[in-house]
Structure 1
Amino acid sequence: MGRKTEQNMRTYHRYLGFFLAGIMAVYAISGIVLTFRNTDFLKKEVQIEKKLGIGLEAEALGSALGKRGFKIEKQEGDIVYFKGGTYNKITGQSSYTEMKMPVILDNMNNLHKMHSGHPLYWLNIIFGIALLFFSVSAFWMFRPKTTIFKKGLYFALGGMLLTVILLFV
């Protein structure tokens, strides 16, 4: 590769890095927060009142509440008790508590976990391509004959080995 290609890659890498700095920070923060998603770390208790369909059975009730692994704890007359709340089969009224993240962290996590059904999923694809470009263009930051480039190759090899190990653990 010539000097011009090296210079262009450095320029693209630099300005794309500046442009995507904010979204990379969001992904970094939400990635750390998502590590603790099975705990109540940073979550606060929120009371929810919801009108649901009348006479729902266990499976339909869990689905209407959006709860995975939903289980009814007990039923007394028309009142159904489940973890953190109740449901009235006659009125359809449900009252329960949930642990929720602050709005900004919840939005960050939703952006991080976006899927193809979301209208903005293509932004995640573009961001993924940009990160792939960063990982490849980093090899054009220094000339191949320099010591720093050769040391960089050792670090890259170490990072690749660590990634392979993590994939099989």
Structure 2
Amino acid sequence: MSKASTKMRVYHRYLGFFLAGIMAIYSISGIILIFRNTDFLKKEKHKITIVEPNLDEESLGKAIKVKELKFLNKEGDMAFFKQGSYQVSTGKASYTVKELPFIISKMNNFHKANTKHPLFYLNIFFGVSLMFFVISTFWMFAPGTRIFKKGILFTIAGVILTLVLLFV
């Protein structure tokens, strides 16, 4: 084995051990995010908040972060919607939301980080590390061996499967 191959294997091994925890959390939160449009793992929380008075449906929905809020009926000073009620004159909103437990909510921030969030540095490091794994994998076995040739076929199959799933 060449000196470059040996070094690449060592880097691959220790970076893999270092990233094992990050990858576990990232994968678990990624799987949970698949179910974000369901109530999976979510708990109901009752909230009472004061917002501006005399808001319409759309403005109230934005203020209390309830998507597609629609008033079901109005009775005097009160407006009722699926999740709760809104006192139009005072701005008092009483409603129920479904939220993920604290730790899972924090884990999901891995996937939602942007340049305004400090986690984006970790995401960049993670992405670059994964690309290193992709590249260093091809130094694990000598290019002429049967295992390497099989590995190339599996790589091509993985790329094709991903492209098919992306465009179907």
TM-score of Structure 1 vs Structure 2, range by shorter chain: over 0.9
The code of the aligned residue for 1:159 comes to G
Taking the aligned partners of 1:8 and 1:68, their CA distance within structure 2 comes to 52
Taking the aligned partners of 1:136 and 1:68, their CA distance within structure 2 comes to 43
Residues 69-117 of structure 1, C-alpha deviation per residue, up to 9 Å, x if partnerless? 2222222122111121111122221111111111111111122222233
User: 8 Å contact 2:110–2:119 — kept in the other structure?
Assistant: no
Query: Where do 1:1-169 residues align within 5 Å?
Result: 3-169=2-168
Residues 16-72 of structure 1, C-alpha deviation per residue, up to 9 Å, x if partnerless? 111111111111101111111111111111111112122222222111011222222
Aligned length, in residue pairs:
168
Taking the aligned partners of 2:36 and 2:95, their CA distance within structure 1 comes to 20
Deviates more, 1:60-69 or 1:113-122: 113-122
The code of the aligned residue for 1:47 comes to H
Unaligned 5+ segments in structure 1 are none
Task: Show structure 1 runs of 4+ deviating over 6 A.
Answer: none
The structural deviation recorded for 1:165 is 0.5
Secondary structure at the aligned position of 1:40 is classed as: coil
Task: Evaluate the alpha carbon distance shift between residue 70 and residue 117 of structure 1 in structure 2; reply closer, same or farther with a 3 A threshold.
Answer: farther
- RMSD across aligned positions (CA): 1.5
TM normalised by structure 1 equals: 0.92
TM normalised by structure 2 equals: 0.92
Secondary structure at the aligned position of 2:162 is classed as: helix
Task: Evaluate the alpha carbon distance shift between residue 121 and residue 145 of structure 1 in structure 2; reply closer, same or farther with a 3 A threshold.
Answer: same
Percent identical among aligned pairs is 53
The code of the aligned residue for 1:128 comes to G
The code of the aligned residue for 1:63 comes to K
